[in-house]
């Protein structure tokens, strides 16, 4: 955890339009992980926010007949409203138009510029540019001449820019991901980045002089910071990089950057190299999940395939929404939205609302027992794929039935007084903690009666009275081989 804090981030979202369920998929997953760590008694810092600079936003504002600042001021509350409806319990919401962020961007740029290695230099760039991605592509990256992500024509651009010497950090990055597989997950994304690194890296542009909507380069204000030294620095800004060194020392580095796979190169290659050049420790892990897809393509505002979360929340409610997207999708994969509806569809969501949502309530006397059990078993998983964990990994077979979770280890738990906590009870308690993280509902739970009954059936009636008399809030548990 950071130094003293478990620090997890969503990507910095781009508010050129309202959010869709692809954004919410990431936001809910991060929220569940953050809640899980809070339930373990850890101090947690959960960060989200909006990236409010760049050419794409400037053009969206111009199209609407507005200034860029007026556009983002109107759009940003629409994002917060979605997170509020989804019960996203973030600790900080950063906007890259805030003064604290401008200060952090300029501090990071200055640190790299002044590091004595000529890592930032002036040059000119000519290339193929996708405004929707805010990224340059080479001819071989394109699909039928279009952007490989948005399937839209790219633009030929040429201008004088400042560049970051990314190529100088290739060997360091390669060693980092070869020696520490957990630094980039899942394995498919790590292999993708290792292949990229082995083929060599190109330096990248960090400024633009053809528009003015952005953070000025501190030593040359004719240029504004281009995308990644602006957008990615939000994570350090919120941790106190520019204005609170004591807090930054406690919170940084981030434990997990949760992102979509389309920005893995920027988070796993550009960002750690930028930090290394500035003398700042890189994040501990980048976790890049797949897309929700429509017609075989990424759900996208640009492609007009985005489904607004309210369209589902208004009908099914937040508990069913959160549960459905974490249960039906093997985290990291790329489901077709239509296929999800065909297989599990709104009918099954309604069933969850009637049946599962009642089980999301969590009796207090069980909650106190769960914390040490969960610490031993590890972090919750979604679907059938495990999320990153620093305490161990479990695999979810199914939320319901007898074998909800299968532990990868054969370890046992001893409860205070030497009582063996049965494996079946341990997996039930861990599943409850996961459910509590997914939903903050406090409705009465049928499980409040079912767990003691299951315990009695498992270890005998002589333990039933002990279940009630044990002071779970002071229970001591430890793992033994």
Determine the Cα–Cα distance for residues 260 and 289; give it in Å rounded to an integer: 5
What does residue 190 show for φ and ψ, rounded to 5 degrees? -60, -45
The residues that bridge with 217 in the sheet, in sequence order, are 220
How many whole angstroms separate alpha carbon 69 and alpha carbon 338? 37
Confirm whether 385 is a catalytic residue.
no
Say if residues 183 and 276 touch (Cβ distance below 8 Å).
no
How far apart (Å, rounded) are the C-alpha atoms in residues 174 and 110?
26
Say how far apart CA 431 and CA 417 lie, in whole Å: 24
87: nearest Cα among 356, 317, 325: 317
289 is catalytic: no
Q: Is 478 considered catalytic here?
A: no
Catalytic residue among 37, 53, 113, 130: 130
Q: How many CB atoms lie within 10 A of CB 342?
A: 9
Q: Which of these is catalytic: 56, 267, 301, 434? A: 301
DSSP SS3 for 397:
coil
The whole-angstrom separation of Cα 46 and Cα 5 is: 10
- Closest of 27, 16, 43 to residue 251, by C-alpha: 43
Closest to 103 (Cα-Cα) out of 205, 233, 221, 197:
233
* Alpha carbon separation from 22 to 98, 331, 334 (Å, rounded): 26, 13, 11
Catalytic residue among 53, 107, 133, 434: 133
Residue 442 a catalytic site member = no
Task: Quote the tokens at residue 19.
Answer: 């959010």
Measured distance CA(226)–CA(216) in Å, rounded: 9
Of residues 37, 46, 56, 150, which has the active-site annotation?
A: 150
147 given a catalytic annotation: yes
CA dist 61 → 54, 71, 231, 393 (Å): 11, 6, 19, 45
Question: Which of the residues 23, 101, 107, 432 is marked catalytic?
Answer: 23
The residue behind tokens 């991060």 is 30
Is residue 301 part of the annotated active site? The answer reads yes
Sign of CA dihedral 463, 464, 470, 476: positive
Asked if 52 contacts 96 with a C-beta cutoff of 8 angstroms, the reply is: yes
State the catalytic residue, choosing from 46, 289, 298, 430.
298
Which residue among the candidates 147, 257, 432, 434 is catalytic per the annotation? Answer: 147
Residues 6 or more apart from 395 whose CB is under 8 A from it? 381, 384, 386, 405, 406, 408
Give the separation between CA 136 and CA 141, rounded to whole angstroms. Answer: 10
Residues taking part in catalysis: 20, 23, 130, 133, 147, 150, 298, 301
């Amino acid at each position: 955890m950071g130094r003293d804090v478990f620090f997890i981030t969503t990507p910095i979202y781009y508010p050129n339009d309202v959010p869709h369920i692809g954004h919410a998929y990431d936001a809910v997953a991060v929220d569940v992980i953050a809640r899980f760590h809070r339930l373990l008694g850890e101090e947690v810092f959960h960060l989200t926010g909006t990236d409010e600079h760049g050419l794409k936003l400037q053009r969206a504002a111009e199209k609407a007949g507005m200034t860029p600042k007026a556009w983002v001021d109107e759009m940003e509350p629409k994002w917060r409203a979605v997170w509020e409806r989804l019960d996203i319990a973030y600790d900080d919401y950063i906007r890259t138009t805030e003064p604290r962020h401008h200060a952090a961007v300029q501090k990071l740029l200055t640190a790299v510029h002044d590091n004595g290695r000529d890592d930032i230099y002036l040059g000119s760039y000519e290339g193929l540019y996708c405004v929707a991605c805010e990224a340059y592509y080479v001819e071989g990256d394109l699909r039928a001449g279009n952007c490989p992500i948005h399937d839209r024509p790219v633009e030929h651009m040429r201008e004088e820019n400042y560049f970051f010497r990314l190529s100088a950090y290739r060997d360091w990055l390669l060693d980092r991901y070869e020696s520490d597989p957990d630094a980039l997950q899942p394995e498919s994304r790590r292999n993708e980045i290792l292949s990229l690194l082995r083929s060599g890296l190109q330096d990248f542009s960090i400024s633009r002089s053809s528009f003015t909507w952005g953070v000025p380069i501190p030593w040359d204000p004719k240029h504004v910071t281009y995308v990644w030294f602006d957008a990615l620095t939000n994570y350090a800004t919120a941790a106190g990089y520019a204005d609170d060194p004591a807090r930054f020392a406690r919170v940084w580095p981030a434990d997990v950057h949760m992102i979509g796979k389309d920005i893995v190169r920027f988070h796993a290659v550009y960002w750690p190299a930028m930090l290394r050049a500035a003398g700042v420790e890189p994040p501990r892990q980048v976790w890049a999940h797949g897309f929700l897809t429509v017609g075989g393509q990424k759900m996208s505002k640009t492609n007009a395939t985005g489904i607004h979360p309210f369209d589902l929340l208004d009908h099914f409610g937040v508990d069913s929404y959160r549960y459905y997207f974490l249960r039906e999708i093997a985290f990291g994969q790329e489901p077709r939205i239509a296929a999800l509806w065909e297989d599990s569809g709104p009918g099954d969501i309604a069933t969850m609302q009637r049946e599962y949502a009642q089980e999301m309530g969590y009796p207090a006397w069980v909650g106190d027992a769960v914390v040490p059990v969960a610490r031993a078993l590890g972090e919750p998983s979604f679907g059938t794929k495990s999320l990153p964990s620093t305490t161990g990994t479990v695999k979810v077979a199914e939320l319901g039935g007898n074998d909800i979770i299968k532990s990868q280890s054969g370890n046992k738990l001893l409860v205070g007084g030497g009582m063996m906590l049965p494996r079946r009870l341990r997996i039930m308690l861990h599943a409850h903690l996961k459910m509590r993280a997914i939903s903050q509902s406090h409705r009465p739970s049928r499980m409040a009666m079912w767990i003691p009954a299951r315990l009695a059936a498992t270890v005998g009636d002589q333990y039933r009275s002990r279940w009630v008399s044990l002071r779970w809030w002071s229970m001591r548990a430890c793992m033994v081989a």
